[in-house]
Structure 1
């Protein structure tokens, strides 16, 4: 009897994505008990206080005014020329590195990661990222037979753990020609942490030291999907200048996404940006990524590219977009502050939050705690070492009451555990 038809490399555990599963459960609970009685903190998108997806008027007005031909036509493999220039302009602002820069369009930030991993690692290579990380990194790496390994993100002072990063960075450098690390900043998913300018100096100093061995190839991938909701648009971009005039064997790649900054989640539009001191390496980056585009998805969403280009090129449209984004950035900041302040007040431990869509709560039993919280109609996402709470999707009033509910559930499970051990 034939029990399998898939190729060996394409057989994976038969399980549903936990985020979408919990989100569906939360939505069912809302229908039964009413939205006011449910805290749905599973969704990684900006939602209004009524639980409806926020879509920026300045973005979707532009989309609806596009000619059908501009929406329906194929795009260039690397992305439309106007789009490529617009990505550079809006992403770097006045902090363009002194370097050779190339931009290749991708289907969202996920596509950017796929392009970088496929073209700049070998089969069996270890990919380094923090122990708190966006789980699809593993799926993307496993799909192409790479392995994600981690360092401890935080030290005892709740700052970037350079000691752990260095130890693992050097360990990989000892065994591999290529050292590829993913740094999700600013507004890290899932903790909301942002690497400081001083911490970037330490990361780059280490990279430059290893780069003295010219046989080593160092790739730093900056996953900046949340940059537009991570603080002042200018201040948070200053670190880009640090990527100027790096050694030739250090290649910085950055993932750009329209999903968060333009509330264009389903349009699946982004880019991978290559930053290098060597023009030949920049050209190689371009053609390697374009070949992968052709081999995987051919070309990207032309209509979404046109939206970005038209807004960035027109100062009046850009100003309207910036004003609208400012409203939602303030909304997110208020929600996060409510959660952080209340957590501090009641003694709920959370990881250091600076900005972004998510806050994380460390715990020993994430899945059990997540399930316990559903009894109180609170829906979060269990991670390996804790829970992820999406402040982007929860109203200020609910962000204020959620910490107490979470703390009560943690204490209940702990008391239950103690009682069981005493029997």
Structure 2
């Protein structure tokens, strides 16, 4: 064993990220054979049909026009008040639940997950999410000395597996006093699935039944990072109204991210929004999470918060951004529809796609399939049970024919 000075809980840690690893391989291939011949379906960021990283034009205009003081000054630890109000209003829209609300600024959506794990679970606890999930959930749990467990996301009819969810939640609560449940919806990463209203009713019924035991605490974390690309503005937010008048030992946290909603990935700004029927719970939510912010990153990016606040509180700017975002939404939607339609034509098995940046293909040997695809200069991300395809990043003309290539690669590796 090599010599180490690390603390016992840190010893042996190292970062291996399939997403950025696959992207690096795609970039190397582009340098070798040219960008035109490479399909890079790895990174969760919008690229236009020229293969250029896209930014909402009005967002860029406002960001670049900020006064110097907004570029360099500190922000309050909890976040700028105008930004926080905008995050709540924009996320929940016209479907604000009948409940107490508050928000705390975070370093991207990832910061929301970090704070929720740290402040709402005990050391050694198990956090629960679906078996198709964003890989960093596991890293965040392990780094905080917690564990991640999963329930089967889809049943045999490819609907949300409520029975598997109920069984796993009950199992976790039989061993510990609280459970943090992470549900990435709508426009789930990595499958593109969105829970229906009926499925949400089932989830909340399970949570409310568990909350009947006053000694138990249920924390429902809705990772809504892709909300703005999940469909019609009001319809895709309708489920938020269901979070009103819930038991006081059931807290809902919603993760908002400027990375996707404002195409400001590198600015690392998000917000965690707390929803509770109990005023004390929400005051505690604001207190403990800003305390953890101070202990983690202190305060976050002032220019990005100022950009969002400026846009959201100006009707003309907001309308312009909404229109530009819709254009990107339709761009991604058309790419996904091409892939889904071609998959049906060649009988390629894929998970149900509703909206969002990604879709997923089940595979018995994902690593081998991805290696085979790379022979055709197609780069995607291998997961535990299949392959993630970032349709947000692939120009429309390169989408055509991809499903057939996936079908062939899977056949050759099984």
Shift in CA distance, 15/206, structure 1 to aligned 2, threshold 3 Å: closer
Q: Does 1:65 align with 2:60?
A: no
1:23 maps to 2:23 = yes
TM value normalised by structure 2: 0.98
CA distance in 2, matches of 1:91, 1:205: 23
- Whether 2:189 is the aligned partner of 1:192: answer no
Q: CA deviation at 1:13?
A: 4.7
CA distance in 2, matches of 1:381, 1:26: 11
SS at match of 2:183: strand
Which deviations, in whole Å up to 9, do the C-alpha atoms of 1:210-239 show, x marking residues without a partner?
111100100000000000001111100000
Q: Is the 8 A contact 1:179 1:217 kept in 2?
A: yes
Distance between the aligned counterparts of 1:47 and 1:10, measured in 2?
37
User: What per-residue deviation string (whole Å, max 9, x for no partner) do you get for residues 363-414 of structure 1?
Assistant: 1001111111111100000000000000000122222211111111111223
**Structure-to-structure mapping, 1:30-109, within 5 angstroms:** 30-109=30-109
Residue 317 of structure 2 aligns to a residue in which SS? Answer: helix
Aligned residues: 414
After TM superposition, the structure 1 = structure 2 runs for residues 269-418 of structure 1, keeping only pairs within 5 Å, are 269-414=269-414
Q: Does 1:153 align with 2:125?
A: no
Contact 1:35 1:50 in 2 (8 A): no
Q: Is the 8 A contact 1:106 1:271 kept in 2?
A: yes
Distance 1:163 1:393, change over 3 A: same
Structure 1 distance, partners of 2:294, 2:177, is 27
Hey, what's the Cα distance between the residues in 2 that align with 1:100 and 1:413? 53
Classify the secondary structure of the residue corresponding to 2:354: coil
CA-to-aligned-CA distance 1:172-205 (integer Å, 9 cap, x gap): 1111100110000000000000011100001111
Separation (CA, whole Å) in 1 of partners of 2:98 and 2:17 = 41
Match of 1:421 in 2: none
| Secondary structure, aligned partner of 1:137 | helix
1:125-177 deviation digits (Å, cap 9, x = unpaired): 11110000001000000011110000000001110000100110111111110
Tell me if structure 1 keeps the 8 A contact 2:365–2:413. Answer: no
Residues 55 and 263, structure 1, Cα contact 8 Å, conserved in 2: yes
Residue range with higher mean Cα deviation, 47-56 or 340-349: 47-56
Structure 2, unpaired ranges of 5+? none
2 CA distance for matches of 1:12 and 1:2?
10
Measured in 1, the distance between the counterparts of 2:395 and 2:340 equals: 14
Query: What are the equivalent positions in structure 2 for 1:176-255 lying under 5 Å apart?
Result: 176-255=176-255
CA 1:284–1:13: 2 relative to 1, 3 Å: closer
CA apart distance, 1:14? 4.2
TM-score by length of 1: 0.96
Distance across 1 between alignment mates of 2:11 and 2:96: 43
Q: Alignment partner of 2:179: what SS?
A: strand
1:72-121: CA deviations, max 9, x gaps?
10000000111111111111111111110110000100001111110000
Residue deviations 1:327-372, cap 9 Å, x none?
1011000000000000000011000000010010001001111111
